[in-house]
Every structure is written in structure tokens, then in C-alpha cells.
């Protein structure tokens, strides 16, 4: 009977251990926004990584850090790319720094800490939630231009305006 109990405990702890780790092989950051003529998406992705996330770990780990060259964001065409880079002041701030850390699982949901350094503005978001998907984990955050000390761009004498809200999505793929 004791042997059965011991085997059951080992199997149960091995199954729960698998849920506490995730190997990350892809990082993707997507910024989406809306204009008076439609939606735009600009993204940056990095594939071929191998890093392990541990949830509820007592060990000190720096988390995952992305140092993203703003010029490497792709928005679909060179006009949008140039507008996006100009808006984010790529000449003055050539890199966006994103750090995700302190992963913890509570009631089946995963929470994390996000640090964002963009256009010289450092922002901290200590308790964001990640969602599980077949592709890995994804988290969403809504930013606005005012929070980043930026003005929403407009073109053609104000005929095309960008709305104040930007959607930021982080994908940690496995």
C-alpha cells in the first residue's frame, strides 16, 4: 500500500512539475493601433531561442529581456515603417527594452511583471496576466500616446489621424 502511495505521489508531482515550466523558443512583440482609415500592426519577432520560464520559483532569475531595434519593427510597407519609426523617435531612441519577469501561477492563471523602456520613458506593470494558447503564452496591454509623452501622429493635414490607444501584445512561444 505504501508503495502505491509513493508511486502516486511521484507521478502527481512529476505532472505538476511539467506545468510549472515552459521552454520559450520564440518571442514576438506586436503593436497595433487604429487610424481614421483603418488598423495597423507593427511587429518584431525572434525565433530559435531556448530559454526556460519557471513559475512560482523561489530562485532569483532576471526574467526574459528583449532589446528591440526600433528599425526592425515591420509594419507591412515602407511608408508605415517610416511613420512608426518617426513616431517612436528611432533616431533618438534606437532601442525599445522589454523585460518580463516574476512569473507566478495563481488559480490556473499566470501573472508576470512587465518593464518597458520606450522613447526614453520607463514604465512598470507589476501584475499582468498571460493567457495560454497553443502557440505558448500571450499577454496584452493597452497604452496611450500621452503615457509615453508622445502626440498621436496625423497625415495629410489631419485627414488621417492615429487614435490615442495602442495595443501591445507579447507572445512567448514554445
Using the predicted structure, report yes or no on whether residue 15 has a pLDDT greater than 50: no
Dihedral of CA 166/49/99/95: which sign? negative
Q: Can you tell me the distance from the alpha carbon of 98 to that of 168, in angstroms, rounded to the nearest whole number? A: 11
Dihedral of CA 71/72/77/78: which sign? positive
Q: Are the C-beta atoms of residues 128 and 112 closer than 8 Å to each other?
A: yes
Model confidence at 7, pLDDT cuts 50, 70, 90, reads very low
Domain 20-173 listed as CATH 2.40.128.110? yes
* Alpha-carbon torsion angle 7, 11, 13, 15, nearest 10: 180
124-147, pLDDT tens digit by residue?
999 899 888 888 888 899 998 888
20-45, pLDDT tens digit by residue?
777 788 888 899 988 888 888 999 98
Rounded to an integer, the average pLDDT of 92-105 is 89
Using the predicted structure, report yes or no on whether residue 70 has a pLDDT greater than 80: yes
- Can you give the pLDDT at residue 158? 67
Amino acid at each position: 500500500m505504501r508503495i502505491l502511495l509513493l508511486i502516486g505521489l511521484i507521478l502527481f508531482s512529476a505532472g505538476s512539475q511539467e506545468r510549472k515550466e515552459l521552454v520559450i523558443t520564440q518571442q514576438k512583440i506586436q503593436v497595433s493601433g487604429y487610424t481614421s482609415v483603418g488598423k495597423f500592426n507593427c511587429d518584431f519577432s525572434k525565433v530559435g531561442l531556448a530559454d526556460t520560464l519557471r513559475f512560482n520559483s523561489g530562485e532569483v532569475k532576471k526574467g526574459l529581456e528583449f532589446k528591440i531595434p526600433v528599425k526592425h519593427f515591420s509594419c507591412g510597407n515602407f511608408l508605415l515603417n517610416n511613420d512608426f519609426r518617426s513616431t517612436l523617435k528611432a533616431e533618438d531612441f534606437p532601442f525599445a527594452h522589454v523585460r518580463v519577469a516574476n512569473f507566478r501561477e495563481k488559480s490556473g492563471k499566470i501573472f508576470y511583471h512587465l518593464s518597458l523602456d520606450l522613447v526614453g520613458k520607463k514604465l512598470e506593470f507589476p501584475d499582468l496576466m498571460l493567457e495560454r494558447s497553443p502557440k505558448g503564452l500571450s499577454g496584452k496591454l493597452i497604452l496611450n500616446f500621452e503615457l509615453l509623452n508622445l502626440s498621436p501622429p496625423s497625415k495629410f493635414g489631419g485627414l488621417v489621424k492615429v487614435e490615442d490607444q495602442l495595443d501591445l501584445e507579447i507572445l512567448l512561444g514554445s
